[in-house]
Structure 1
Amino acid sequence: MTTERHNSNRKGPSAYLNAIAKDNSLPIEQAALDLWLKDLQNPLRWGVRPLLQFIFAILLHVTWLFKRLPLPQFSAHSSLQKLICWFCTHFVSKEANLLILRHYATESNVLNFLAANSPTDGFTPVQLYPKCVADMQHASFVEHDQQLFRLFADLGSWHHPQKPLAASELNWQHWHSIDMAQFEFTEKRTQWLDFESAHALFMCLFCLLLTREEYRDAINGFNLDQSIAIRIGDLVGDNSLREMAYNKYPHYLVGPWNLGQRFLMHGFFTEQLYAYLEQQRKQQQA
């Protein structure tokens, strides 16, 4: 009984967090896993986030309805990105900021790998690799979405290959391995907000400062995860990759319901697919 009481009062990660810290069933780089586990232990995620998500989910649907009214559409991409970068610089935690910066790199790598190994020639690679929060004023979230849509349009219809590419045939020309030391970040005492709480605050701002079509496209772009996984799975000969995609069926357009979870699962998808491909690249080099 003494041992049980000692274990129950022990400080540190819970038994479940210790378990997932050791679970490598799904590919994910250790740097990303460490950031996420630390973010999960932010007290605000468990105390403040549920209230923020409840309040701002209601406000988001009101804003969504307002933007659907037959009124002149307006957007403010520059103001939106400046507000986000200012807020990230002063209030969002180091772990959350680094996860956001990693997401740009992971998705850019995945899209460039897909394009470079597709039959289509003459594509323009995605160049969104911000190294600090200030870079996101140019490598904006809006541009992040538009590059995804552009690349899919450029690639055109997908013709499932009869056989996958051999490892020696895979093209890694536009691949950038993620080095955490390259990210520039100066931590402030006011930066305490966890990843999901920060997203809850951003949701309404995105809806308000984008046109209704831009915002609708942005929140449905997550559903292309399944298409990306299918195409890359065809190229490398691994159909299990499509199981990584939580967001599916891109032809079924959705609204802002459950947006926080879909956004987060999109981030996990790109991290896992990046880690999988990075392992393939290293094995090929070896």
Structure 2
Amino acid sequence: MAKQQYSALLKALAVDNSIPIEQAAVDLWLKDVNNPLRWLVRPLFQAFFVLLLHLVWLFKRLPLPQFSAHGPLQKLICWFCRHFVSREANLLILRHYATESNILNFIIDNTGKDAVTPLALYPKTIEDMKYASFVEHDQCLFSAFAELGHWQRLESPKQTLNWTHWQPVNMDDFRVEKRWTQFLDFESAHALFMCLFCLLLKKDEYRDAINGFNLDQSMAVRIGQMIGDPTLTEMAYNKHPLYLVGPWNLGQRFLMHGFFTEYMYARLEQLREPQTAPQCAEEKAE
């Protein structure tokens, strides 16, 4: 595929850092969104698969025995990502595991509840995702919130922030082999797989997964109080976690959840680096 030149808008977006987001994520996204096939096949995929998704959604709610196939689902996703999904999209997926795990670990570390299990989902390759599965990714989110229990509102920001389980995202740590068959952009690939997710998860597992995005607002509220920045809730597109919805508009909600974790990660990394730099300098001096 011939190299595409950025439009005037994409050139502007490439340097706009008004909203916190790491440049590595911006570069990956703009390259992925500039894929010509994204503007050709994605609308066709969404038109067909959104209708199919609703049919599968209805089928799973018939009074029939529930079934799931997490293992085959995960293996198929990894095989497809390895061979057909763009390298940029694969790197964005791996980044998402790390950014969300960091956000949740930050909340856990700074809530003061030692019994809550920190997340360890930091895959570095597509192969790792067979084990750090998308299903486990969702379940860890729900388990963390359940273990944290009721949130006690903070009247003032925390004076000292805990970064014990924070793992900075280093793009050099990710390994994604580039293949000539990797032509699909992030959104087109998601459109292809959303029906399979619905089919191969139990009805409540899938319903919970597509509504877990709304916990973005809850995470933003908690972190905003911890660091004294109430504007963080503006970064959450998915809101009102008590309002459960079906699969309508799933592609956009899914994508905006990814943006949210990138925004929150970058905002927290802006705080972490100045705080940990003196400590690193002391360790080197010793």
Q: Is structure 2 residue 120 aligned with structure 1 residue 98? A: no
1:226 and 1:24 map into 2 onto residues whose CA distance is: 22
Q: Is structure 2 residue 252 aligned with structure 1 residue 278? A: no
Question: Which of 141, 151, 160 lines up with 1:158 in the alignment?
Answer: 151
Letter matched to residue 139 of structure 1: A
**Which structure 2 residue ranges, 5 or more long, are not aligned?**
278-286
Question: Which of 35, 52, 57 lines up with 1:64 in the alignment?
Answer: 57
Deviations 1:193-247 (A, max 9, x none): 0000000001000000000000000000000000000000010010000100000
Aligned to 1:206: 197
TM-score by structure 2 length?
0.95
Q: Is structure 2 residue 188 aligned with structure 1 residue 197? A: yes
Question: Which of 31, 39, 42 lines up with 1:38 in the alignment?
Answer: 31
Q: Is structure 2 residue 187 aligned with structure 1 residue 184? A: no
Alpha-carbon shift at residue 32 of structure 1 (Å): 0.5
Letter matched to residue 243 of structure 2: Y
Aligned to 1:21: 14
Alpha-carbon shift at residue 120 of structure 1 (Å): 2.0
Aligned to 2:136: 143
Alpha-carbon shift at residue 22 of structure 1 (Å): 1.3
Deviations 1:159-187 (A, max 9, x none): 10121101xx1000000001101111111
TM-score by structure 1 length?
0.95
**Which structure 1 residue ranges, 5 or more long, are not aligned?**
1-10
Deviations 1:50-78 (A, max 9, x none): 00011000000000000011100000000
Aligned to 1:87: 80
1:55 and 1:139 map into 2 onto residues whose CA distance is: 30
Identical pairs, percent:
69
Aligned to 1:233: 224
User: Secondary structure of the equivalent of 1:255?
Assistant: coil
Superposition map of 1:102-121 within 5 A: 102-121=95-114
1:183 and 1:13 map into 2 onto residues whose CA distance is: 26
User: Secondary structure of the equivalent of 1:56?
Assistant: helix
Letter matched to residue 123 of structure 2: P
Alpha-carbon shift at residue 254 of structure 1 (Å): 0.3
Alpha-carbon shift at residue 121 of structure 1 (Å): 2.3
Aligned length: 274
Give the root-mean-square deviation of aligned CA atoms. Answer: 0.8
User: Secondary structure of the equivalent of 2:209?
Assistant: helix
Letter matched to residue 191 of structure 2: A
1:216 and 1:225 map into 2 onto residues whose CA distance is: 16
Question: Which of 228, 235, 243 lines up with 1:252 in the alignment?
Answer: 243
User: Secondary structure of the equivalent of 1:48?
Assistant: helix
